[in-house]
Amino acid sequence: MAAELRRDLVRDNWVIIATDRALKPNDFPINKGWEKARVSGQQVCPFCEGNESYTTDEIAAFRDDNSLPDTPGWTVRTIPNKFSAFKLEGELELKRNGIFQSCNGLGQHEVVVETPQHGVDFSQLPADRIKQIYLMLQQRYLQLAADRRVKYIQIYKNRGLFAGASLEHSHSQILALPDVPPENRGLSKYYEQEGKCLLCTILEEEIRSRQRLVYESQHFLLVCPYASRFSYETWIIPRRHTEHFADINDEELDDLAAIMKAFMPAMLDCLNDPSYNMVINTAPVNQDIGGGYHWYMEIAPRLIVTAGVEFATGFYMNPVAPEISAAMLREKLLR
């Protein structure tokens, strides 16, 4: 799929536009449910073990010693996104057409298939398998960051139809971008103004007040953020000031896997199995970033559809205070 990035001059952001195809109304996931490949009239999931020939060629995998790429025998598998709008080819080229700006779709879009088994959710995996997933994400991060053309690496997971997932099989995605999105600009702004890390300051405040604290471990804090955009939104913040997710060490990986194994089933049970988005926010790569970056994770249950006021103003309306969300999640987690 050919694509280009176009500058939204009004909102001062980039939009990814597919330039060589147009989805019909019934092609969108919200209209057709889970997407599956059709083979000989039968619906099959391309992410299931044994269906490796229906995906793009394997980039990396954790697999049995005697198994070959693109065959069964794996536990976690990374492949290029079949419908990627990005290609890591050539150089970034900025074009102008009057007042409008665009650039080519330079980048990489990968899918990390988290389990060979269909119907096994991320939350159902044992802690050692969850750790494997984060190890794979770390390895892919380091590999992509080694390319000087990549400026930002976004790791995310869409689970459920209302979180934007088009495939039911448990998976995460990695997007290597040629520019830095503006979503976390408050981190660098706070550092410029105050001379210290905003997330480290937030950690201190949340530990002191304990109003929005969901859980503490040796290496991480789980909090419902003060200005939560979504009901029951939870952040996982490393205690150690670390700019890049890829700098996570083995002890922290063990701790993170144990946290996710405990928290995700509790959250899903507390909220009646919602769709959710999970994202890892991290520092830009291959450029002078200054100070203030501190990687963290966001888990956002999608309990209501984003409405006109959010679309129009960017002001999110959250009907559940984070203090109440934290208390409910904390009670469920500690039972």
Active site positions, annotated: 171
Count CB-CB contacts under 10 A for residue 131.
Answer: 20
Q: How far is CA 133 from the centre of its chain?
A: 13
Using H for helix, E for strand and C for coil, what is the string for 133-197? HHHHHHHHHHHHHCCCCCCEEEEEEEECHHHCCCCCCCEEEEEEECCCCCCCHHHHHHHHHHCCC
Are 214 and 329 in contact, with CB atoms under 8 Å apart? yes
For residues 31 and 206, give the distance between their C-alpha atoms in angstroms, rounded to a whole number. 41
For residues 107 and 313, give the distance between their C-alpha atoms in angstroms, rounded to a whole number. 30
Place of tokens 């890049």: 244
